[in-house]
Amino acid sequence: MCSRTTLPGLPSLAFCAVIVAFLPAGAGAQTIPELRQRVLELERAYAAADAIADSIESMLGPVIQTETMPIGYVTLVAIGTDMSFIREAAAEAQRILAHELGPDGDVLKGVSILLILSENGRATVGPISRARSTGGFVVDDPVALAKLLVEGTYQTVDLEHDRTIRDWLVTRTPNGSTEYSHPRSAYSDLAASPFVSAQACLAGDIGECRRALGLIATSDGLMTWYDPADRVQMAQQRSAPSPRFYPRRSSIYDGCVERGEDASCRDFLASSHIEPPLPPSIRETIVLEALRTGGEGAYGRLRRASGTVEQRLAAAAGVSGDSLITIWRAALIDAAGQPTAATLPIGSAAVFWTLVFAALGLRSTRWR
């Protein structure tokens, strides 16, 4: 009876203390009724001690455990109350990573992530130094938790490895699991872009595609990626300063927007954060195209490559930068159902011969 509960030591000590308290000096000389009375008193005392132990257990809550376990090359430090659930999720995460990365899995060597899983299913996953910055997510099955572990793994790779591509994208670097689901919307954004380089890229100028994507490394994006007409557009997209409160800045704005003075535009935009003409959603598609073109091993090559963003993307794709940009542009146009430069002559020829044969048919005696 001294080892009733899961709380080590506490109930047994309580009960044994009760027994000692109720043992009389001459227990052997007691009568049967006296012994029965003692037993009843002992049972009541045990019930009281048992209730105290239950109350303490409820206040302590479930036992928190910490365990370190592998997810392939990744080390997971898990904190929670249900390690069997976490181990099941870790095994599923390892399967996902092995499927997505294949031979590139060794890029995860040395990566460590932290998982904090509360009793109510709220999980916080991420790099050990920044796990809490990802916020909490409620998970109710191992697969959902596995996906968070995979996301946390990729996030850690982004934070601990060279950040050149990530800084260019201004978002997390795509990987093998990122869905290539928006080339059509990317084409629409490209076609709707008001900037000179974007329109020239759409027309087939690969050099202008490079400029529109921000693949030309520079310390002055305003001058490298944008033309004078673009800078007027950029100024127009910003609020006009109040002439009353900001007379000098208002005058500079007017010189740029109303009179098209490029010096004024450069002055007005000098303090602005400048990103490439095409937004991150389009820039991401060329990363995905590099991974798709490169096939097996592309993700690892992307991570290990050095140099400019274009050089790294070309290394991942296994082709030259010009070839990758050409492939990427054709993929966007094809996804949108638009004719490419290669198909335009064919389509024109088809229309031409259709008109020729129609004219010949109208000249036949059948239609007279």
Question: Could you tell me if residue 200 is inside a domain?
Answer: yes
Q: For 201, how many CA atoms within 13 A lie in the half-sphere containing its CB? A: 33
- Rounded to an integer, the average pLDDT of 119-130 is 80
pLDDT in tens, 104-118: 888 888 889 999 888
Q: Do 212 and 97 fall into the same domain?
A: no
Same domain, 327 and 194: yes
Judge whether 329 lies within some domain: yes
Least confident among 150-159, 233-242, 273-282? 150-159
| 212 shares its domain with 322 | yes
Confidence at 61, pLDDT banded by 50, 70, 90? low
Claim to verify: residue 368 and residue 224 sit in the same structural domain = no
Chosen domain end from 60, 77, 92? 60
Residues 353 and 322 in one domain: no
Tokens 């030259």 belong to: 320
What CA–CA distance (Å, rounded) separates 115 from 273?
35
Whether residues 278 and 246 fall in one domain: yes
Residue 316 contacts residue 290 (beta carbons within 8 Å): yes
Residues 19 and 84 in one domain: no
Greatest mean pLDDT among 5-19, 118-132, 309-323, 342-356 lies in 309-323
* Residue 306: inside a domain: yes
**Based on the domain organization, do 95 and 120 belong to the same domain?**
yes
Identify whether 174 is part of a domain: no
pLDDT at 10 over 70: no
Q: In what order do the strands lie in the sheet containing 74-80?
A: 65-71, 74-80, 112-117, 122-127, 137-138
**Res. 158: pLDDT tops 50:** yes
User: Are residue 327 and residue 192 in the same domain, yes or no?
Assistant: yes
pLDDT above 90: residue 93: yes
Domain boundary among 33, 60, 87: 60
The predicted pLDDT at position 335 comes to: 83
Cα 149 to Cα 136: distance, rounded to the nearest angstrom: 13
Q: What is the 3-state secondary structure (H, E, C) of 175-237?
A: CCCCCCCCHHHHHHHHHHCCCHHHHHHHCCCHHHHHHHCCCCCCCCHHHHCCCHHHHHHHHHC
* pLDDT attached to residue 357: 45
**What integer is the mean pLDDT of 308-316?**
94
316 vs 132, higher pLDDT: 316
Name residue 138's beta-bridge partners: 122
Domain that holds residue 352: 341-368
Q: Are 329 and 353 members of one domain?
A: no
Residue 151, amino acid:
E
For residue 172, being part of any structural domain is answered with no
**Are residue 279 and residue 213 in the same domain, yes or no?**
yes
Cα distances (Å, whole numbers) of residue 105 to 108, 178, 259: 6, 16, 57
Q: Any residues with CB less than 8 A from the CB of 333 and at least 6 apart, and which?
A: 187, 339, 340
Identify the pLDDT of residue 51: 75
Q: ∠88-94-97 over CA atoms, to 5°?
A: 145
Q: Using CB atoms within 10 A of its CB, is residue 176 exposed (0-12), middle (13-18) or buried (19+)?
A: middle
Q: Give CA separation, 51 vs 8, 47, 59, in Å.
A: 16, 6, 13
**CA 59, CA 177: separation in Å to the nearest integer?**
43
pLDDT class for 129, splitting at 50, 70, 90? low
Q: How many domains does the chain fold into?
A: 4
The verdict on residue 5 lying in a domain is no
Instruction: Assess whether 298 and 352 both reside in one domain.
Output: no
Give a yes or no: residue 166 inside a domain: no
Work out the mean pLDDT of the chain and round it to a whole number. Answer: 80
The verdict on residue 1 lying in a domain is no
